[in-house]
Amino acid sequence: TQYVYTFGGGAVSDDPRAKDKNITGGKGSNLAEMASIGLPVPPGFTITTEMCVKYLAEGANFDDQLRADVAAALNHIEMTVGKKFGDAADPLLVSVRSGARVSMPGMMDTVLNLGLNDETVQGLASVSGDERFAWDSYRRFIQMYSDVVLGLDHGLFEEALEICKEDNGFSADIELSADDWKKLVAEYKAIAERELGRPFPMDVNDQLWGAISAVFGSWDSERAKVYRRLNGIPGGWGTAVNVQAMVFGNMGETSATGVAFTRDPATGDRNYYGEYLINAQGEDVVAGIRTPQYLTKAAKEAAGAKLPSMEESMPEAYGELAKVFDLLENHYREMQDIEFTVQQGKLWMLQTRTGKRTAKAALKMAVDMVHEGLIDEATAVKRVDPMALDQLLHPTLDPDAPRDILTVGLPASPGAASGAVVFDADTAEQLAERGEAVILVRVETSPEDIHGMHAAKGILTARGGMTSHAAVVARGMGRPCVSGASALSIDRKSKVARIGANELKEGDVITLDGATGEVMKGAVPTIEPELVGDFATLMEWADAKRRMKVRTNAETPADCKMARQFGAEGIGLCRTEHMFFDAGRISSVREMILAEDEAGRRKALAKLLPEQRMDFKAIFTEMAGLPVTIRLLDPPLHEFLPHADEEFAELAEITGYGVDHLKRRAGELHEFNPMLGHRGCRLGITYPEIYEMQVRAIFEAACEVAEESGEAPVPEVMIPLVGTKKELEILRALVEREAKKVFEEKGRTLEYLVGTMIELPRAALMAGEIAEEGEFFSFGTNDLTQTTLGVSRDDAARFLTPYVDKGIYPRDPFVSLDIEGVGQLVELAAERGRKTRPDIKLGICGEHGGDPASIAFCEKTGLDYVSASPYRVPIARLAAAQAAL
């Protein structure tokens, strides 16, 4: 296997692996691609992701073959640029960067200016004719290498720089002279030696191999693991390493470095969008140390910024860049996020990749590109990440509500959020776990804050531009973010922030508007989203491509209404027990379960009947003309038991029993393992009167709605937790008996179906027999996962995270279906069920019905519908379309 691929310098590899993201990573494959279409790419080479996996598996060792391949590839760079690595007179310098299959922002590490040492720095100074530049580059290298490769605290170096500036009365780095940098380099080396117990490496080959190891090793860093877990990226992919000739954006006023998008990543508008810094290196832009300048004149003017745009200050290089943007968009037919450097007037491309975008921008660009003729409708549908729609389905700030604006920062990631101010990621996580809404407020964020950013409703930073870490990560996570709110000063120790005369303490509530950059005092009211425009267009295209129906899991009329607006085509699961918990009803439910005998139960059930009927009427009315699956009572009776003394006292009053008697009765009903206990259809078998009441309520409601509206609903009565054909046979007879009675009383008959959930492995295995009694199967994959894995869905949180980290399960199996395992049971049950009853209706109603990967599996298995919670309905529609394409 070839593990090293070169790019640039005119040589174009015809090995398809060189441009395969899975092999050379996102960055490496795109560098190869750009070089092959003739864009100015500094020459370099990529060590493959496979090598990373091998390296990590084989105990961090490089073999002779790899060393030889790397030497040859390095020689390719040397020949192309006409400089030699480690040459004291005219040294080649390289960058070493990671690049996984998918970008993992801030997670992996970069080293620039590698190849500098006490000798080569002199050569660099004389060749560039700029001593200051050479020594500045050297000190950057020592600091970055020490941090990234040697694992030293970068604060030590920053501190030394701060002291140097203070001693000299400087306020900006730009004021340091060559001699100042020289002195600082000596200090940096001393710091490194003190911390390491050995000198900073002077051998350029040691530097290179150290950096390569560090990149590979960083794949398994804690931060990378957290990111992978949050984003469902498998640990087995590995990262590639890219080694590339350095070009310098810090060679004076005709040099610059920048990042850009070919369209606006926040709005999707067709404007070049980006930031650049004159006389700077790449990390300066991303780190938010200096405030970057705008790329285009229009953007600069719109923002009222003073510093000139690149379009104005470097018109030639800008013109080149604009040409490259168009070439890239036409080549990739996709919005690109690029990094570039201008070295003494000459433009170099350092990276291109598909740009991250907000959901709104994703929709707009997909729809626009169809209209521009760049892509077709199917591609547009495939291009929008279903999960990203979530951002659009949630409320935005009410434009008419008063806003007490504290300050305005950059609109870094859209959406609105209110919450309590917190100043560190750990607190954010702790409070969020308790269900509190928090806003994470930081000077700037770093990869160490990821967990807090995830836990927070929104993110506010004092520093950093639109491409800062906070902005990029927030956009990716769909969290609203306001960055670069420079009026904000934060005192982290005493946990207060000041904005002008206002003081914010931890816990004070603020609101962010990520679309405008406004930061407001208190909680500002929100309004529901409008599902029109690009959203509606794309969903229309998606609906035309989809085979499966999309239903919703809902049990209140309000949820039904919302789900219909989101496009639900019926109810796949109405959990009737939720109706039992209502304030006015729970005591009747308790009266029923604590009753001594059938007569006692029937008395309590009679009180519940009109309530249930009313529920079902409301739902049938809301879902007029659509199928409604109603599940009969499922949870263990255990769950309804009273706990508090007042609850027992109230029950004693209603039933006439003493409190002691009721407590003893409740004790008798206690179960050791209620999820495997007296629940599901077992309730209907032992207490048929419960199911009789529910069936009566369903059909009375259906008849009344048919009578009143003229449109007859089609109820689908669903029996939970069935494991045997006999159970379903008995309960189906019960349903038919009771339905018949109601029809006779009401003088009309209605169509209806009786079916079952498949939630137990036995049910899946016996699906052929069970289908004789059931007209539909709905896969209850929450329980089916629980029962197949033998993992309690209520207790799994404690160990599933480490399980996912260790790669035991690729993702949380309660979130994304365990296709390998549980999926087999679904396939098998579908096949056996269809064999018995070819027209059996098949659906899924576990949480997985709203998960795109699971939906793709359902499509493959040929299910008729998926059912998801209301907010997931549009996600499911899009995912179902993507699965069908």
Question: Which residues ranging from 41 to 80 are in contact with ligand PEP (CB under 6 A)?
Answer: none
In the numeric block, which tokens belong to residue 472?
A: 């990029």
Q: Does 851 bind ligand PEP (CB under 6 A)?
A: no
Question: Which residues ranging from 831 to 850 are in contact with ligand PEP (CB under 6 A)?
Answer: 845-846
**Applying CB under 6 A, which of residues 187, 559, 615, 783 lies at the interface with ligand PEP?**
783
- How many residues touch ligand PEP under the rule CB under 6 A: the total is 10
- Rounded to whole angstroms, how far apart are CA atoms 716 and 523? 43
Residue 575 labeled ligand binder: yes
Question: Which residues ranging from 768 to 787 are in contact with Mg ion (CB under 5 A)?
Answer: 780, 783
Question: Which residues ranging from 608 to 647 are in contact with ligand PEP (CB under 6 A)?
Answer: 634
**Applying CB under 6 A, which of residues 780, 813, 823, 852 lies at the interface with ligand PEP?**
780
Question: Which residues ranging from 226 to 265 are in contact with Mg ion (CB under 5 A)?
Answer: none
Measured from the CB atom, the residue of 219 and 814 that comes closer to ligand PEP is: 814
Q: Is 302 exposed, middle or buried (0-12, 13-18, 19+ CB in 10 A)?
A: exposed
In the numeric block, which tokens belong to residue 772?
A: 């004789």
Measured from the CB atom, the residue of 45 and 777 that comes closer to ligand PEP is: 777
Of 27-35, 351-359, 503-511, 774-782, the segment contacting ligand PEP by CB under 6 A is 774-782
Q: Does 755 bind ligand PEP (CB under 6 A)?
A: no
Of 812, 834, 836, 807, the C-alpha closest to 822 is: 812
The least CB distance from residue 795 to Mg ion, in Å, is 16
Return the bridge partners of 352, or none: 338
- Rounded to whole angstroms, how far apart are CA atoms 587 and 862? 44
Measured from the CB atom, the residue of 703 and 876 that comes closer to ligand PEP is: 876
Q: Does 115 bind Mg ion (CB under 5 A)?
A: no
Measured from the CB atom, the residue of 320 and 759 that comes closer to ligand PEP is: 759
φ, ψ dihedrals at 657, nearest 5°: -80, 155
Measured from the CB atom, the residue of 115 and 849 that comes closer to ligand PEP is: 849
The least CB distance from residue 724 to ligand PEP, in Å, is 18
Encode 57-86: b = buried (16+ Cβ within 10 Å), e = exposed: eeeeebeeebeebbeebbebbbebbebbbb
In the numeric block, which tokens belong to residue 331?
A: 């080549």
Of 615, 613, 589, 616, the C-alpha closest to 603 is: 589
- Rounded to whole angstroms, how far apart are CA atoms 155 and 145? 13
Residue 783 labeled ligand binder: yes
Measured from the CB atom, the residue of 538 and 855 that comes closer to ligand PEP is: 855
Question: Which residues ranging from 741 to 770 are in contact with Mg ion (CB under 5 A)?
Answer: 759
The least CB distance from residue 716 to ligand PEP, in Å, is 14
φ, ψ dihedrals at 844, nearest 5°: -130, 135
Residue 109 labeled ligand binder: no
The string of DSSP codes covering 586-615 is HHHHHHHHH-SSHHHHHHHHHHHHHHHHHH
Measured from the CB atom, the residue of 612 and 756 that comes closer to Mg ion is: 756
Q: Does 559 bind ligand PEP (CB under 6 A)?
A: no
- Rounded to whole angstroms, how far apart are CA atoms 445 and 471? 9
Number of neighbours of residue 653 by Cβ within 10 angstroms: 11
The least CB distance from residue 818 to Mg ion, in Å, is 16
From the list Mg ion, ligand PEP, none, which binds 575 (C-beta under 5 to 8 Å, kind-based)? ligand PEP
The least CB distance from residue 763 to ligand PEP, in Å, is 11
In the numeric block, which tokens belong to residue 428?
A: 């954010």
Q: Does 847 bind Mg ion (CB under 5 A)?
A: no
Specify whether 52 is catalytic.
no
The least CB distance from residue 748 to ligand PEP, in Å, is 31
Of 429, 400, 414, the C-alpha closest to 471 is: 414
Residues with Cβ within 8 Å of 766's Cβ and at least 6 positions away in sequence, in order, are: 723, 724, 725
Catalytic residue chosen out of the listed positions 451, 469, 638, 848: 469
CB 822 within 8 A of CB 813: yes
- How many residues touch Mg ion under the rule CB under 5 A: the total is 3
Catalytic residue chosen out of the listed positions 52, 574, 845, 858: 845
- Rounded to whole angstroms, how far apart are CA atoms 825 and 128? 68
The string of DSSP codes covering 108-148 is S-EEEEET--TTHHHHHHHHHT-HHHHHHHHHHHHHHHHHH
The least CB distance from residue 622 to Mg ion, in Å, is 24
Specify whether 845 is catalytic.
yes
Q: How far out from the chain centre does Cα 173 lie?
A: 37
DSSP 8-class letter at 346 = E
Helix, strand, or coil here: 781? helix
**Applying CB under 6 A, which of residues 281, 341, 781, 788 lies at the interface with ligand PEP?**
781
Measured from the CB atom, the residue of 329 and 783 that comes closer to ligand PEP is: 783
How would you classify the pairing of strands 256-261 and 627-631?
A: unpaired
- Rounded to whole angstroms, how far apart are CA atoms 25 and 20? 7
The least CB distance from residue 780 to ligand PEP, in Å, is 3
Residue 479 labeled ligand binder: no
The residues that touch Mg ion, with contacts defined as CB under 5 A, are: 759, 780, 783
Binding site for Mg(2+), residues? 759, 783
The residues that touch ligand PEP, with contacts defined as CB under 6 A, are: 573, 575, 634, 759, 780-783, 845-846
Q: Which residues have a catalytic role annotated?
A: 469, 845
Binding site, residues? 575, 631, 759, 780-783
Binding site for substrate, residues? 575, 631, 759, 780-783
